[in-house]
Structure formats: C-alpha cells, structure tokens
Amino acid sequence: MKHIKSTTYILFSTFFLLLTSCADTLIGDEGQLDEDIFLNYQTKTELELPFENEWFIAAGGRSVIQNHHFIPFRHQRYTMDIFQTVNGKSFIGDGTNNEDYYCFGKRLNAPGDGKIIAMRNTIEDNIPGVVSEPDLGNYIIIDHLNGEFSFMAHLKKNTIIVSLGDTVVRGQEVGKAGNSGNSTEPHIHYHLQTTSETSTGIGLPTQFLNYYADDEFIERGEPIRNQIVRKN
C-alpha cells in the first residue's frame, strides 16, 4: 500500500511539473504554439473595465498560479474572474444566498464598442456553492468588428438589456452580475478571443485603458490576480 501511494504521488508530481513546464513554455520569451503570435499581442479594441466602482481580480494573468483558465482552456486563456469584496470577503452573513454577495445584481457595461452577436438570458442563477449548468450561463458576446470578440458570462437571469444585433458603445450598460452557469458564487467572467464560438478560438491578452490597480494609475495594462481595480 505504501508503494502504491508513493507511485501515485510521484505520478501526480510529474504531471504537475509537466503542466508548470508547459505554462512556462507558453508564456516564455522564446514563444511556442499560440504564443508565437500572441505573446506580445496588443489589443486592438479600446477597452475599459466593464463595471463601476472597485472589484477584485480573483483570477487573471499569464500563468497557472495567477489564472486557472490558462492551461485547460485555449480559448479562455486570459480569462478574468472578478467580484467585489469588503474587508477581504465577497459576501455578508453566511453567503448562502446570492443576495449576500456584494456584486450580485451590480451593473455591467460593454467594455468596448461593437455589436451583440450572441446572448442568453434565461438561465436560473445557482444557489451559491452549487453548479447547475457547466457552461457560461447567461452571457453576451460582442463582436468588436476587428477580429476580437468579448465574452461576458454568468450574468443574472433576465437582466441583459441589449438584444441580438444591437450596436453598443464602451461604457453602455448591458446587464447585471449574476451566478448562472459554471459558477459557485456571483461574479463576472470576462475574456477576449479570436472567434465568436463559445468553445473554439484562441484567447487574447487583454489590455484595458485608464484604470487603477491597487490605487496605482495604469494607462494601459492587464489586471492580474489579487488586484483591486477600478475605472479612472
């Protein structure tokens, strides 16, 4: 039994190291695979943070440590998961209800100009801690008409106020934060990619303009895990 446990541990450790090595290769200066093209990618669309007030970056960045989306989801590689916190907590009380969470029902905006080309608005919000739909839940996809597509997911049921084919402008309200789809607590999932498909394409590094990260003004940058960010 001890031998079996040791072998299992060694195999797990080797697998983890391979993942880490793969991540290093993908984000290294030498550039491999998708990173040959996208390591130094500069976002074409003028983007701003898609919310009001201060939010916390729970996942975001270019490494496995910063961003759990990085390895398994090619199209979501640079995804950010974002919610609001007060004194380091994302909810009040015991967090058993969506309404306990600071970001639940908060306004979400279009991060950049474009056209609404896909959306879903009718999925029930999860009970916190229970995932009922293993996907994006309620979402919108914005075609920025330049080969970049914004995905905003896990929105609150029936709060999306734009329609298919609508043209939106940066900062325009589009819906409210929710807890639908593959989500264990209310938050916003945002990523930029090369196609409009929900499971294909390549994730793109995403630079936002004119925001504060931990009270430091950023003229153009990519928010990363554990930062508190807000628009200028």
97-152 pLDDT tens trace = 999 999 999 999 999 999 999 999 999 999 999 998 889 999 999 999 999 999 99
**Same domain, yes or no: 128 and 76:** yes
The total number of structural domains in the chain stands at 2
What CATH number is given to the structural domain containing 71?
Answer: 2.70.70.10
pLDDT at 72: 57
**Same domain, yes or no: 165 and 182:** yes
pTM: 0.83
**8 A C-beta contact, residue 207 and residue 150:** no
CB-based contacts of 174, cutoff 8 Å, min separation 6 = 108, 109, 110, 116, 140, 152, 160, 161, 162, 168
Secondary structure element (H or E) that encloses residue 115, with its range: strand 114-120
Quote the CA–CA distance of 88 and 90 in Å, as a whole number.
7
